[in-house]
Homo-oligomer: A and B are copies of this chain.
Amino acid sequence: MNPLAIPEIVIRRLPLYLRCLSLLLAEGQIVTSSQELADKLGISSTQIRKDLSYFGEFGKQGTGYDVRYLRDQLRQILQVDRCWNVVLVGAGDLGHAILRYGGFDDGGFSIVAVMDNDERKIGRSIGKLQVQDIAKLRKVIRKHGVQIAIIAVPTSEAQHVADALVSAGIRAILSYAPITLSLPEHTRIEYIDPVIGLQSMAYYLSPGHPQRPPT
């Protein structure tokens, strides 16, 4: 099937299912149901079954899903049953924190290079990697067959870095900067935005302590 024939919103839910299944598997669970996934994710079981049905038949009526099989299938569908090399741009506090994040490998990603334009940072070691000059971006991307980059630079530099990444051949960007980047239509972009998560929780809080009047 043409990958573009499936609604993007469906694709964006698959990693949530995958994370949930990986967790169940780690807990030793063999079988699950769309209802159990629904309860854990706050997505309706009908929606989950409909999303999965785009890709085939994964469960049997009444017996549910084999956790490992469904996880493996989702990893294949999302193409994360392999390891994608990733370039990280920005070797500041955030870059350090990202390199220390423990979840990339299991998810199907490996940060193979960290780059910066700050001469005081270039050449320094962070874990197993040495910070490289952003001027070598094109070379690094070619060498490692990189299609994905993470932007962890100050807001004022994010668009400039994004432009450089696209022109060097990057096809997907994960940005930590709190601005919307302007990119060619064929370039994928995802944002890490803590405010989105905070706002969906604020809805449920009791409005006990507003600290400023409405604006």
Assess the B145–A107 pair: CB atoms within 8 A.
no
Number of copies: 2
Bound-complex Cα distance A152 to B204 (A):
22
Nearest CB of chain B from residue A44's CB, rounded to whole Å: 7
CB of A172 closer than 8 Å to a CB of B: yes
A205 within 8 A of partner (CB): yes
Residue of B nearest to A210 (CB): B82
Report A185-215 CB contacts with B as 1/0, cut-off 8 Å: 0001011111111111111111111111111
**Among A28-36, A56-64, A86-94, the stretch in contact with B:** A86-94
Q: Mark A128-171, 1 if CB is under 8 A from B, else 0.
A: 00000000000000001111101010010000000000000001
Given A14-B203, A16-B196, A94-B97, 15 extra CB contacts under 8 A: A9-B47, A11-B200, A11-B203, A12-B200, A15-B199, A81-B215, A82-B207, A82-B213, A93-B97, A106-B195, A108-B195, A108-B202, A109-B202, A144-B209, A192-B192
Interface residues of A (CB under 8 A from B): 3-4, 7-9, 11-12, 14-16, 18-19, 23, 42-44, 47, 76-86, 92-94, 96-98, 100-104, 106-110, 144-148, 150, 152, 155, 171-172, 174, 176, 178, 180, 188, 190-215
When chains A and B are docked, how far (Å) is the Cα of A12 from the Cα of B16?
A: 14
A sample of 24 cross-chain residue pairs with beta-carbon separation below 8 angstroms, ordered by A number, consists of: A12-B42, A12-B200, A15-B197, A15-B199, A16-B196, A19-B193, A76-B214, A78-B199, A79-B203, A81-B215, A82-B210, A82-B212, A83-B212, A93-B100, A101-B194, A103-B178, A104-B195, A107-B195, A109-B195, A109-B202, A145-B211, A174-B194, A174-B198, A190-B198
State the Cβ distance, A134 to closest chain B Cβ, in Å: 19
